[in-house]
């Protein structure tokens, strides 16, 4: 009987810890969603204000990645 009570107590403690961990994870997830949304809005605004520079940067990054991939295949 004592063993059953002890196991029930441990089970209750573990459930409490799990619920706390889930709550913290949800809060972190919400905070990351807010930060991502803010960053996406800022990026969109910057691209709309400077479209030619954005296209130039995208072209340059694409060219660089293409060169690295092609170089990696040769080796």
The tally of domains found in the chain comes to: 1
Task: Report the alpha-carbon distance of residue 65 to residue 44 in Å, rounded.
Answer: 23
Give residue 35's domain range: 2-74
* Structure tokens that stand for 62 in this block: 């694409």
Q: Which two tokens stand for residue 61?
A: 């990054």
Q: What is the pLDDT of residue 2?
A: 78
Q: Tell me how far CA of residue 23 lies from CA of 43, 54, 62, in angstroms.
A: 30, 39, 41
What own/partner pairs with CB < 8 Å and gap ≥ 24 does 66-75 have?
Answer: none
Across residues 6-33, what is the average pLDDT? 94
Longest dimension (CA), the chain: 76
pLDDT digits (tens, 9 = 90+) for 23-69: 999 999 999 999 999 999 999 999 999 999 999 999 999 999 999 99
Q: Is the model's pLDDT at 20 over the cut of 90?
A: yes
Q: How far apart are CA 46 and CA 51, in angstroms?
A: 8
């Amino acid at each position: 009987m004592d063993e059953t009570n002890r196991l029930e107590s441990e089970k209750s403690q573990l459930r409490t810890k799990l619920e706390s961990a889930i709550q913290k994870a949800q809060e972190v997830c919400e905070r990351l969603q807010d930060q991502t949304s803010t960053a996406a809005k800022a990026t969109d605004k910057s691209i709309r204000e400077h479209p030619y520079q954005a296209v130039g940067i995208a072209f340059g990054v694409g060219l660089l990645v293409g060169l690295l991939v092609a170089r990696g295949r040769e080796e």
